Amino acid sequence: MSVNFRGIPALVKLRNKGKSPVINPTETLMIREKGEDSQIEISGVTDEINSKITIKIGNRSRVKIEGIQTLNTRLIITLGDDCELLIKDGQKINGPLRINQFEASKVTIGKNGLFGPCQIWTSDFHSVIDNQTKNRINPPKDVVLGDHVWLGAEALILKGSTIGDDSVVAARSVVTKSYPSNSLIGGYPSRLLKSNISWDDKLLPYNLENW
């Protein structure tokens, strides 16, 4: 499903029927479109998953979703003007995933991610001002998640963060910086707990002698 919205009124819902998108207020995917020259491309999702996605998009912004394997709760996407969001295929979303891009920024989520209830922010939502210069000092920054990244329950990924492939972010962690691939990350604020790890979403046998 690939759709370009230009000047469509405030609230529409969309569902894929065959190869042609259908815009119909009674259908499933909720898209709140307030801007112009924005693009939404969605593929690799079922009608059931469509019904759990909400998108709000501003001017000159782009959302591209290449595939979601499971979505047990909701995916809530909010983009301001001049934003870009790329979600690659194979995602498993167990808890509500909120992606907030209120200012011009880019979020990239690699393939085969696993998400508990968590949030990704590219800005601070409000302005911090230097009293001497009167200039704002907290601009937005991009966020990048590599392939096969697991975000635990209530993890918060803040602006400027990069998480490498095959990494794990522990529950209730607050990530504010970059980590290489195969990292176990945790804490508030986060720190590197262990390097050279990988993960599997299946519960595998373990040996207590290794602990």
Q: What is the pLDDT of residue 25?
A: 33
Radius of gyration of the chain from its Cα atoms, rounded to whole angstroms? 18
Mean of pLDDT values over 173-182: 98
Q: What is the pLDDT of residue 34?
A: 65
Based on the residue annotation, tell me whether 148 is a catalytic residue of this protein: no
pLDDT category, 210, cuts 50, 70, 90? low
Best CATH choice for the domain 58-199 from the list 3.40.1010.10, 2.40.50.140, 3.40.50.620, 2.160.10.10: 2.160.10.10
148-163 confidence digits (pLDDT tens): 999 999 999 999 999 9
Mean of pLDDT values over 45-50: 91
Q: Which of 9, 10, 18, 126 is catalytic?
A: 126
Q: What is the pLDDT of residue 18?
A: 36
pLDDT category, 16, cuts 50, 70, 90? very low
Task: Tokens for 113, please give them.
Answer: 């991610």
Mean of pLDDT values over 170-180: 98
Whole-structure pTM value: 0.86
C-alpha angle with apex 158: 85 to 75, nearest 5 degrees? 45
pLDDT category, 206, cuts 50, 70, 90? confident
Mean of pLDDT values over 141-151: 98
Q: Check pLDDT > 50 for residue 23.
A: no
Spans of all domains in the chain? 58-199
Q: Check pLDDT > 90 for residue 1.
A: no
121-135 confidence digits (pLDDT tens): 999 999 999 999 999
